[in-house]
Chain A
Amino acid sequence: MAVDDLYLENIDEYINDENKIVTYKWLSLTLKVHVNIAKQMLYTFVKTQRENKEIDHLTVTYFVAGVSKNDTGEMLFKCGVVPEENLSQYKCSLSVITSCHVYSVQKVKLKDSNALYITDYDVMKDNIFEFSKYSSIQNPRAEIRSEDDMELLAMQMEETDSKPERETKTTNRDSAPPSRVAAPKEKPKGAIANMFANAQKIKDAKPERKDAKPELKQENKPSEKTTKPAGKKQGGMMSFFAKQTDKSEKTDHANKEVKKNKESTSSVKEQKTDHDSKEVKKKEESPPKMKEKTTDHTRKEVKKKEELPAKRKELSPPRKTSRKTERVESDDEDSSKKKRRRIKQDLFDSSSEEEEEEVEIEEDSPVPSPVKEPSPIPESPSPEAAVVDEEDEKEEKEEQIITRTSSKERGEKVMTGEKRRVRRKKQVKKTFMDKDGFLVTEKVWESESTDASEVEEPVKKPPVPAKPSSPQKKPSPKKKGSPSKGGGTTQTSLMSFFKKK
């Protein structure tokens, strides 16, 4: 009893002096007693206070639990915290009362349960592991998991939730260090990641199959997407192109016969790279191998000014072939896979197309000659030259590549989704007399558009004139991500990319 007196004094202090809200839970944890004892203490306290003082300044809430019958005759087990005034009323609503005890005692008249919750919040947080010690509700077999267990669980969770991300991570890791940074960032992109998760799983399931083009496409697509949103553009582009490598490998392989483009040289190189990249398939390829194919593309962006025009060329033709191949294949696949593939195709196609087209655009707006000059292979056939120029320009601005790619993707998507727009840009040599009387021959890009729709063209144009300075040969710092440079194009294209989904 002496103990109880001390405790009662404590409660008195808390309630009257400090004006606290004393819940039985809070009391049990603060005084380190069992909850039942806490409840009893509160009850005793209220009783004595009310007996001793005439003015009842205490408000009490009760916890009531019991069985009740609702209108349809069902038996419900209800429990609730009710203020004293409503106590009898609540009790009447229950046919059988299983428990009723004091929940809290305080001086203030409570308006709602907010304050009760707040009261318990902090003290519960502090004693989160010991709470069951003082409670009647216990499970002796319940144990706190050890750290190792927690880690295991966490890993399992990660595996199930972000398996594709993981896979992407592993593949990216091999491809390039920057992609490693990209990979962890993929995780937060939950929705996108999950979307690609399925694709990624498929990819992982059939890593070695050359026939698994659709899967590759799918995996490429998710990997691209996962890596792309991952903010680290370099890494993202790396994986993007890494995956493209796999994809384009196959498509190029298959499409070699299908596609004979103007690039004779490039196609030869393509084949070489195709072969090489085929071996690599999984992006576990070492960086040099990656170079050969789409990695080239990636590397261009990753390594400043290292990209060789040749690689670029290789990229564009493979892309074209891949596009065709993909289109052929898409017919045979499921609709769901088709969808993804198409997007992938679009990505790839658009990137390749963009390269060419954008090059043309860029050449148009700025001074063509300086653009062409730095190209190491000025004598190559026109598409190659275009690519070269592209590359030069791209060396200066990595983002534009991404921009173009994205806008291309958009274009592609539009194409596959709606009507087939064939855009061809030809480099035409024009000879004319300039003011000094010299005969000047210049390569001029003319774009021919069959089934033209104006959407793509104008969109591409604005970003080009918007960056008149970029085509210049100044070694502008290559920015990692495209957002700043890509400006509207990147953004819109990316967004349209996602919308197409």
Chain B
Amino acid sequence: METEEIDKNKIAADIFAEFFEVALHCILYTRRLYPAGVFERRKKYNIPVQICFHPEVSQYVANVVDSVKQLMEQKEMEKVVVVVFNKQLQPVERYIFEVVSPGKKNSEDRFLYQLEQALRAFLLKLNVCDSLLSSLPEDNTWTVQVHTKNSAAERLHDYQIVQDFPWVLADSSETELPTPTLIPLKAVDSDLIKMQLYVEESGFKTGHS
């Protein structure tokens, strides 16, 4: 039974890591964090997705996803947040992927078709989230934050030394949004992955520091 659990954990972590990478690229594209020219159309879950092929960006994303996967495998991760900062380095938007451990559903999704469908819906929603959010100001920067436990952070520290990709502790100014509004996007609940995606946006979006 334990090995079963561990296997499921690993699979879930793999799936989430794949999905998160694609979602991250999708956010970069949809919110115009990078010009559309650096994106290339690729296929994932049988739908076209835009992936950035700038080497440094893709390398950074790959590293981030790798660390996230590590945490996910140990079930230590509460949520992953993609934060968009404005020129003054204040967070204006946060895309929160909240992950909880799935319950024992035992539904008949052996080949994960339903899960794939759900992830497709996630990506579709990310594509159209523009209409729900107010537009971003110019000159943004972005980062990824992970909410986890202290012990896991220590473990990650050891891992990241090997990977040469250190994570630093974020301070509250970077994590908190002033006057946030919450916009839920999508949720999925399968027996492998249970997560929801919502967006917090700050009231100060339009260039006002």
A interface vs B, CB < 8 Å?
19-21, 57, 106-109, 111-115, 117-119, 121-122
Q: Which residue of A lies closest to B126 (CB)?
A: A115
Query: Within the assembled complex, what's the spacing in Å between the Cα atoms of A332 and B174?
Result: 80
Q: Can you report 7 A-B residue pairs in the complex whose CB atoms are below 8 A from each other?
A: A19-B131, A21-B124, A106-B128, A108-B129, A111-B127, A114-B49, A121-B46
Q: Which of B3-53 contact A (CB under 8 A)?
A: 29-30, 36, 41, 46-50
Contact (Cβ within 8 A) A117 B29: no
* Contact yes or no, A115 B128, CB < 8 A: yes
A55, chain B: closest CB distance, angstroms: 13
Q: Is the CB of A118 within 8 A of B127?
A: yes
A58 to B41, CA, bound (A): 26
Instruction: List residues of chain A with CB within 8 A of the CB of B170.
Output: none
8 nearest interchain CB pairs? A108-B131, A108-B128, A115-B127, A107-B131, A118-B124, A114-B48, A118-B47, A108-B130
Docked Cα-Cα span, A107 to B125, in Å, equals: 12
Which of B117, B127, B131 is in CB contact (< 8 Å) with A114? Answer: B127
B119-161: which residues lie under 8 A (CB-CB) from chain A?
120-121, 123-124, 127-132
Q: Which residues of B contact A117 (CB under 8 A)?
A: 47-48
| Residue in A109, A112, A113, A118 whose CB lies within 8 Å of B130 | A109
Contact with A118, one of B120, B129, B131, B132 (Cβ below 8 angstroms): B120
Report the separation of the CA atoms of residues A434 and B41 in the bound assembly, to the nearest whole angstrom.
Answer: 77
Quote the shortest CB–CB distance from A268 to chain B (angstroms).
Answer: 57
Question: With the chains together, A106 CA to B30 CA distance in Å?
Answer: 16
Q: Are B128 and A114 in contact (CB under 8 A)?
A: no
Give chain A residues whose Cβ lies under 8 Å from the Cβ of B46: 121
Which residues of chain A come closer than 8 Å to B29, judged between CB atoms? 111
Q: Which residues of B contact A20 (CB under 8 A)?
A: 128
- Within the complex, the shortest CB–CB distance from B127 to chain A, in Å, comes to 4
- In the complex, chain A residues whose CB is within 8 Å of the CB of B127: 108, 111, 114-115, 118
Please give, as numbers and ranges, the residues of chain B lying within 8 Å of A57 by CB-CB distance: 131
Which among A21, A119, A122 is the interface contact of B117 at CB below 8 angstroms?
Answer: A122
Contact across chains for A114 and B50 when beta carbons are under 8 A apart: yes
With A and B bound together, what is the CA distance between A105 and B192 in angstroms? 35
* Whole-angstrom CA separation of A117 from B29 in the bound complex: 17
Closest to B48 in A: A114
With a cutoff of 8 Å between Cβ atoms, the chain A residues found around residue B128 in the complex are 19-21, 106-108, 115
User: A407 CB to closest chain B CB, in angstroms?
Assistant: 37
Chain A positions within 8 Å of B131 at CB level: 19, 57, 106-109
Q: Within the complex, which residue of B48, B120, B132 is in contact with A122, where a contact is CB–CB below 8 Å?
A: B120
How many whole Å from B149's CB to the nearest CB in chain A?
A: 35
Residues of A within 8 A of B50 (CB): 112, 114
- Which B residues lie within 8 Å of A107 (CB)? 128, 131
CA distance A109 to B117 in the complex (A): 23
A106 to B127, CA, bound (A): 12
> Is A121 in contact with B120, judged by CB distance below 8 angstroms?
yes
Residue pair B36, A114 in contact (C-beta under 8 Å): no
Q: Is the CB of B30 within 8 A of A111?
A: yes
Known: A111-B29, A111-B36, A114-B48. Is A119-B130 also a contact (CB below 8 A)? no
When C-beta atoms are compared, the residue in chain B nearest to A112 turns out to be B50
A19-B131, A19-B132, A109-B130 in contact; A115/B124 too (CB < 8 A)? Answer: yes
Q: Which residues of B contact A106 (CB under 8 A)?
A: 128, 131
Q: Which of B41, B47, B132 is A121 in contact with, Cβ under 8 Å?
A: B47
Give A235 to B50 CA distance when docked, in angstroms.
46
CB-defined contacts of B47 to chain A, threshold 8 Å? 114, 117-118, 121
Alpha-carbon distance A107/B50, docked complex (angstroms):
21
Cα A434 to Cα B139 in complex, Å, equals 88
Residue with the highest number of chain A CB atoms closer than 10 Å, among B46, B48, B49: B48
Residues of B within 8 A of A109 (CB): 130-131
Nearest to B50 among chain A residues (CB) is A114
Given A19-B128, A109-B130, answer yes or no on A118-B123 (Cβ-Cβ < 8 Å): yes
A114 closest partner in B (C-beta): B48
- Min C-beta distance of B106 to chain A, whole Å: 24
Residues in chain B near residue A114, CB distance under 8 A: 41, 47-50, 127
Q: Given the complex of chains A and B, what is the CA–CA distance between A112 and B41 in angstroms?
A: 10
Considering only CB atoms, which chain A residue lies closest to B30 in the complex?
A111
Q: Which residues of B contact A108 (CB under 8 A)?
A: 127-131
Q: Max chain B CB contacts within 10 Å: which of A57, A113, A122? A: A122
Residue of A nearest to B113 (CB): A125
Nearest chain B CB to A343 CB, angstrom units: 38
Which of B41, B128, B131, B132: most chain A Cβ within 10 A? B128
Query: Given the complex of chains A and B, what is the CA–CA distance between A109 and B48 in angstroms?
Result: 18
**Residues on B with beta carbons closer than 8 Å to the beta carbon of A118:** 47-48, 120, 123-124, 127
Report the bound CA distance from A335 to B104 in whole Å: 64
**Extra 19 A-B pairs, beta carbons < 8 Å, given A111-B29, A114-B50:** A19-B131, A20-B128, A21-B124, A21-B128, A106-B131, A108-B128, A108-B130, A114-B41, A114-B49, A115-B127, A117-B48, A118-B48, A118-B120, A118-B123, A118-B124, A118-B127, A121-B46, A121-B47, A121-B120
CB distance from A21 to the nearest CB of B (A): 6
**How far is B131's CA from A57's CA once the two chains are assembled, in angstroms?**
9
Give the CA-CA distance A111 to B36 in the complex, in Å: 9
Q: How far is the CA of A111 from the CA of B48 in the complex (A)?
A: 13
Most buried by B among A106, A108, A117, A118: A118
Of all chain A residues, the one with the shortest Cβ separation from B127 is A115
CA A115 – CA B131 in complex, angstroms?
A: 13
Interface residues of B in 72-124 (CB under 8 A from A): 117, 120-121, 123-124
Closest to B131 in A: A108
* Complex CA distance for A111 and B124, rounded to whole angstroms: 12
Q: How far is the CA of A114 from the CA of B48 in the complex (A)?
A: 6
CB-nearest residue of chain A to B36: A111
Nearest A residue to B123 via CB reads A118
A215 to B18, CA, bound (A): 49
Point out the residues of chain B lying under 8 angstroms from A19, CB to CB: 128, 131-132
* Min CB gap B98→A, angstroms: 21
Chain B residue nearest to A119 (CB atoms) is B124
- Complex: A119 Cα to B47 Cα, angstroms: 10
Q: Write the nearest CB–CB distance from A119 to chain B, whole angstroms.
A: 7
Q: Which residues of B have CB within 8 Å of A119?
A: 124
Q: In the complex, how many angstroms separate the beta carbon of B186 from the nearest chain A beta carbon?
A: 11
User: Closest approach, in angstroms, between the C-beta of A23 and any C-beta of chain B?
Assistant: 12
User: How near does chain B come to A498, taking the closest CB pair, in angstroms?
Assistant: 30
